[in-house]
Amino acid sequence: MRGLTRALFILLVLVHLGFSREGVTIPTPLTKNLGEYYVSIGVMSISELKSMFPRAYNLLVKYHGSPSKRDTHHLAVSIWKQENGKMVYLSNFTVEAEIRSPIFRATRKPLSKYLHQHGDNYGGWFDMSDKGLYHIGIIIKDGQKTKRVNFDYLIQ
């Protein structure tokens, strides 16, 4: 139990302080460097999205369609690079997500591209109704090249 508490404390410190790699500040552990670009993810429950950001929810429905009755969360993926001190969003990829629940139920599906205020993002609706640690795999295809980046996300 003490090890878990310590790991959570370290994670919170990293989130709070961020860390820097090659002069680029990475704000959370939900951003990873793939060499030529970065991949960031965001997860939000549909109920929070509807109540806190109704306009954004309606735009996401326009791009992804309505969530199914089993869908509980929206996954957003940004692919970006640092250029002249600014974040430049990249949108010339085909992106899929593979979500593995704490009980090892897996879902893999393509993400649709949608306009964000700073550039294009990718996203989709997923069933993330189980409590616990999810494994989120993002598969990025650029022509013949495929890259995969993995994240862990805790739902309490």
CB-CB contact of 121 with 89 (8 Å) = yes
Beta-carbon contacts of 26 under 8 Å, excluding residues fewer than 6 positions away, are 18, 19, 20, 33, 38
The angle formed by the CA atoms of residues 149, 111 and 19, to the nearest 5 degrees, is 35
pLDDT in tens, 66-117: 999 999 999 999 999 988 888 888 888 999 999 999 988 899 999 999 887 7
Average pLDDT over residues 127-139: 94
Kind of pairing between the strands at 38-45 and 73-83: antiparallel
Q: What residue segments make up the domains of the chain, in order of their start?
A: 29-155
CB-CB contact of 44 with 51 (8 Å) = no
CA distance 10 to 31: 16
Question: Following DSSP, what letter does each residue of 18-58 receive, concatenated?
Answer: -EEETTEEE-STTEEE-SSSEEEEEEEEHHHHHHH-HHHHH
pLDDT in tens, 47-57: 999 999 999 89
Q: Tell me what pLDDT residue 86 has.
A: 85
What kind of fold does domain 29-155 have according to CATH?
Immunoglobulin-like (2.60.40)
